[in-house]
Structure 1
């Protein structure tokens, strides 16, 4: 019978040399660390080899399938799913060790994530998002969302008290690159969901999202970093629906709206 206190930490990587060392340092006490790498070209693998890790490589299949494959590579039933730019706070490390020693009472646990906001970390008074990261893989797995893939678990879900640090938003350039890639990746998913009323969504939803982020999630306590982050977040939701609207217009008009004799101008592929 599998010991319920044993933990496999799962980390998916691609060119994460900047943050991977801190990530692995915070989980080196775990029974097992599995790294699934998407064919990195930087020093990611060299860093991973400095820790007691089991390293596998596979071409990137999409966020959901890649993370699910990593989960299936684990040897233990209880897994902690991390991105390579996430780091367990010292308090969270202690809380996890205590929880696993006592045997978890729930089937999964959500963890609050404190975000890097460009030149600072978010203020503790910010309303943080909670993510399901620690779970019994016998009770579920990772969904197949093209971008924001997450575990789905049957049974009881509880929340831990301590924080997970996220060092992903290094600067505005990186943030804008990420939302541009994410919003493109979500077009196909939204096509499946048949979203209509796009012009109205583009007009009204981004301002509402800014207010929600800046005031309701208390990003105002983060000063100008919080204001900028809320504006970019509103732009992200605008981009998601603007790109979906653009897709429909290309499908509807083709090159009919270009001058006669103009060369065909298909939308660029961004695989």
Structure 2
């Protein structure tokens, strides 16, 4: 007998993409939406799609997703971001696996919308654990770039999520600024070594890895700009970590105009 499935989504002002996300998962046995105080039409969209709707204040990316997973009624969970959508063939692939799961979790591929176009089909796709037995999996606890950590073997499904992400350059730069602050604070707790080297060299490495090795040069100017923003994020997180260390060493000096 096939295992029942809960699709789990966390939301905040997600009206632009949530409808497509939930419609793509309509075949699941349950859809759980955990919202963190949306002021747009997110709640109405979730209710219209028959989701089991819950709300709580935002607890951080990893903790919020874990809270949503804990609300699921079924043991097997498919975790989606509110700006992701499953392809038409996902239902058959997932249900086939759930007839006799041989792994504790399964990775799905993901293709990215890059400002005004999809990434090239010849560029490298990322893959993430999204389908898993929640009794053998937990969120990683990272401030950003949180992942599902599975206790057991991990397989991979031939399913490609669509990730809409940020609709424009300004949105992606804003995200880079937010994420770099969170990542810098997390790195400060880890006592990162060789900070000067990282600050100088890593942004260039990040650009080359994203643009050349992952094949985003195939997306033309969209790929180039995305790679530059990615490098900017790498620069910001180490620059903010350096700033935090300087302020700590100097006793957090105030700006001259604040004195």
**TM-score above 0.5, yes or no:** yes
Q: Which TM-score band (shorter chain)?
A: over 0.9
Question: Is the contact made by 1:4 and 1:78 (CA closer than 8 Å) also made in structure 2?
Answer: no
Aligned positions of 1:190-201 closer than 5 A: 190-201=187-198
Do residues 23 (structure 1) and 31 (structure 2) align? no
Report the alpha carbon displacement of residue 257 of structure 1 after superposing the two structures with TM: 9.4
Structure 2 partner of 1:167: 164
Q: Which runs of 5+ in 2 are unaligned?
A: none
Deviations 1:2-46, CA, capped at 9 Å, x for gaps = x65200000000000000000000001100000000011100000
Do residues 72 (structure 1) and 59 (structure 2) align? no
C-alpha separation between the residues in 2 aligned to 1:113 and 1:224?
21
Do residues 60 (structure 1) and 58 (structure 2) align? yes
User: TM-score under structure 2 normalisation?
Assistant: 0.96
Report the alpha carbon displacement of residue 96 of structure 1 after superposing the two structures with TM: 1.4
Structure 2 partner of 1:47: 45
Match of 1:124 among 121, 126, 130: 121
Query: What is the total number of aligned residue pairs between the two structures?
Result: 259
Name the SS of the counterpart of 2:16 in structure 1.
coil
C-alpha separation between the residues in 2 aligned to 1:255 and 1:42?
38
Do residues 114 (structure 1) and 105 (structure 2) align? no
Question: Is the contact made by 1:4 and 1:77 (CA closer than 8 Å) also made in structure 2?
Answer: no
Q: Which runs of 5+ in 1 are unaligned?
A: 266-271
Structure 2 partner of 1:98: 96
Match of 1:183 among 177, 180, 184: 180
C-alpha separation between the residues in 1 aligned to 2:128 and 2:172?
20
Do residues 249 (structure 1) and 246 (structure 2) align? yes
Structure 1 partner of 2:221: 224
> Compared with structure 1, are the counterparts of its residues 202 and 74 closer, same or farther at alpha carbon in structure 2 (3 Å cutoff)?
same
Do residues 205 (structure 1) and 164 (structure 2) align? no
Q: CA RMSD in A?
A: 1.6
